[in-house]
Chains A and B, each alone.
Chain A
């Protein structure tokens, strides 16, 4: 079953709720290796996003995602604003004009978003950033669809890959962002950006498969 406008909107709202619940946790992760504002900044941005999309009724999923991106860019600040903003803006461009997303559409949109983050932040895998959760999520999604898995299975495998990538950041030495100033001292801590990115991918799996289970 394709992703509908309301499922996409539910995914964004669920992510906002998850960020609010994990605001302190994300900020604590950031205080260990960054500047202790990731949860606070993301929560400010996602609350603004929810207020903005409340007034939208669709059906263009691309327009929805672009609005999310522009709102994050203008409210989050720090590095998270342009990176998450770019993720959603590029997903929105990929999904422009679509009122539902097939499995392949979703994979293409996520891949475009992650490519945008990579191009904006210039991070590679294992630099201890968002990319460590996002890139494996895209790869797992594409691999699952290529070997004939159902969309539900592909979404689950994508979320599992994001979780694995997030946990794999713990021993890494940061090579990007403020954490890189710590050098070896950044090892032993889970990356806050990879953590919020895992929550985003997990949220998509829950929002998109949950609806389908009832159909």
Chain B
């Protein structure tokens, strides 16, 4: 394992110290338990947004703490859910009296821990709503599985709901907006290489030198199929076809197209993918009216990408365009 670390046991702690040192203008890092909160929290009268999950997906979630996005992020160990006491502490730290929205990615551990945290917070008299994000079309949703995983739509929901909270919209409305973003988003990812969890020291899964995995999860969970590496043109077809068919997205729709790096894929390749996606959607009469391109929801050093499409209306577009000032996303402020 080659990594720029000191000790595998200290990776999360030392990264948090680095984040604190780099971004103290916008956020504060709390310890015991670990949490990242807005520097000016709690913001009185504003619905507070709390998200969290295992570490290793940076900049999500800690990099999205700041004006116009999250009030707090709870970082767990690498790929391991944070704990309810940690989420409760974050919820208490940022509650400005207007209630708290928990944005939860659909993984069994994250969901169970956030449910317990919400129970504890409500017992403390804090109004909490939770929305579970489940946009990954690689997983068949059914009563007999844990359901779809939460991936790229999480970033979009955090941005759009953050903007709504800044407008002082009430908790129920911000939560409903979060459900709307989730309901109108679909994603799928792929990997060219595995990733290595520092504490494990070896790749999470084996992928042959000329193989790729289509439908990979952000923790290296298995996808739909393993096959020989194909061109960017063909990969976009393999990812975007099930996305478009699932919602479905159809001619005349305006979308936000989010092309994300899994961590190890460079921007130049993301633009090649974006170019293919632009043609793919144009051929179907679907217009990209907003885009996001870069490493935003990563899986350590995994090479690969994911595509997320969100069907936009005027309200979602305006909230997407609203000012945001976080270490990971910044415009208009």
Which A residues lie at the B interface, using CB under 8 A? 35-37, 40-41, 73-83, 85-86, 120-121, 175-178, 180-183, 185
Contacts and interface: CB of A to CB of B under 8 A. Distances in A.
17 contacts: A35-B221, A77-B82, A77-B83, A77-B113, A78-B81, A79-B112, A81-B81, A81-B109, A81-B113, A82-B113, A120-B112, A120-B115, A176-B146, A177-B108, A178-B221, A181-B145, A181-B149
Interface in B103-156: 107-109, 112-113, 115-116, 139-140, 144-146, 149
Interface of B: 33, 76-77, 79-86, 107-109, 112-113, 115-116, 139-140, 144-146, 149, 199-200, 217, 219, 221-222
A73 B115 contact: no
A181 B151 CA distance: 15
Contact of A35 (B79, B82, B112, B140): B79
A73 B221 contact: no
A41 B78 CA distance: 12
Contacts of A83: 112
A41 B79 CA distance: 12
A182 B139 CA distance: 10
Give the most central of B108, B113, B116: most A CB within 10 Å: B108
Contacts of B84: 73-74, 81-82, 85
A175 B83 contact: no
Contacts of A80: 109
A143 B76 CA distance: 42
Give the most central of A85, A86, A178, A182: most B CB within 10 Å: A178
Contacts of A78: 80-81, 109
Nearest to A177: B108
B60 to A, nearest CB: 18
A77 B108 contact: no
A74 B85 contact: yes
A177 B236 CA distance: 29
A20 to B, nearest CB: 17
A180 B146 contact: yes
Contacts of B200: 36
Contacts of B80: 37, 41, 77-78
Contacts of B109: 77-82
A175 B81 contact: no
